[in-house]
A and B are shown apart, each in its own frame.
Chain A
Amino acid sequence: AQRVTQPEKLLSVFKGAPVELKCNYSYSGSPELFWYVQYSRQRLQLLLRHISRESIKGFTADLNKGETSFHLKKPFAQEEDSAMYYCALSTLSTGNQFYFGTGTSLTVIP
Chain B
Amino acid sequence: DTGVSQNPRHKITKRGQNVTFRCDPISEHNRLYWYRQTLGQGPEFLTYFQNEAQLEKSRLLSDRFSAERPKGSFSTLEIQRTEQGDSAMYLCASSLASGSTEAFFGQGTRLTVV
Q: Please, how many angstroms separate the alpha-carbon atoms of A44 and B102 in the complex?
A: 12
Instruction: Quote the shortest CB–CB distance from B97 to chain A (angstroms).
Output: 8
Instruction: Write out the residue numbers on chain B whose beta carbons fall within 8 Å of the beta carbon of A45.
Output: 104-105
In residues 40-97 of chain B, which contact A (Cβ within 8 Å)?
40-45, 48, 50, 55-56, 91, 93, 95
A96 proximal to B (CB < 8 A): yes
Contact with B along A66-93 (1 / 0, CB 8 A): 0000000000000000000010101000
B107 proximal to A (CB < 8 A): yes
Q: Assuming the A-B contacts A43-B108, A98-B45, are A49 and B102 also in contact, with contact meaning beta carbons closer than 8 angstroms in the complex? A: yes
Interface size class of B (residues with CB under 8 A): 20 to 34
Q: How many pairs of residues, A versus B, come closer than 8 Å at their CB atoms?
A: 58
Instruction: Quote the shortest CB–CB distance from A65 to chain B (angstroms).
Output: 18
Instruction: Write out the residue numbers on chain B whose beta carbons fall within 8 Å of the beta carbon of A99.
Output: 45
B21 proximal to A (CB < 8 A): no
- Contact across chains for B33 and A97 when beta carbons are under 8 A apart: yes
- Contact across chains for A103 and B108 when beta carbons are under 8 A apart: no
Q: Please, how many angstroms separate the alpha-carbon atoms of A90 and B35 in the complex?
A: 14
In residues 38-56 of chain A, which contact B (Cβ within 8 Å)?
42-46, 49
- Contact across chains for A101 and B102 when beta carbons are under 8 A apart: no
- Contact across chains for B42 and A90 when beta carbons are under 8 A apart: no
Interface size class of A (residues with CB under 8 A): 20 to 34
B25 proximal to A (CB < 8 A): no
Which residue from chain A places its CB closest to the CB of B102 in the assembled complex?
A46
Q: Please, how many angstroms separate the alpha-carbon atoms of A7 and B11 in the complex?
A: 32
Instruction: Write out the residue numbers on chain B whose beta carbons fall within 8 Å of the beta carbon of A6.
Output: 42
Which residues on A are within 8 Å of B, measured CB to CB?
Answer: 4, 6, 9, 32, 34, 36, 42-46, 49, 86, 88, 90, 94-103
Which residues on B are within 8 Å of A, measured CB to CB?
Answer: 3-4, 31, 33, 35, 40-45, 48, 50, 55-56, 91, 93, 95, 101-108
Beyond A42-B107, A46-B102, A100-B44: 16 further Cβ-contacts under 8 Å?
A4-B42, A6-B42, A43-B107, A44-B43, A44-B93, A44-B105, A90-B101, A96-B101, A96-B103, A97-B33, A98-B43, A98-B93, A100-B35, A100-B42, A103-B41, A103-B42
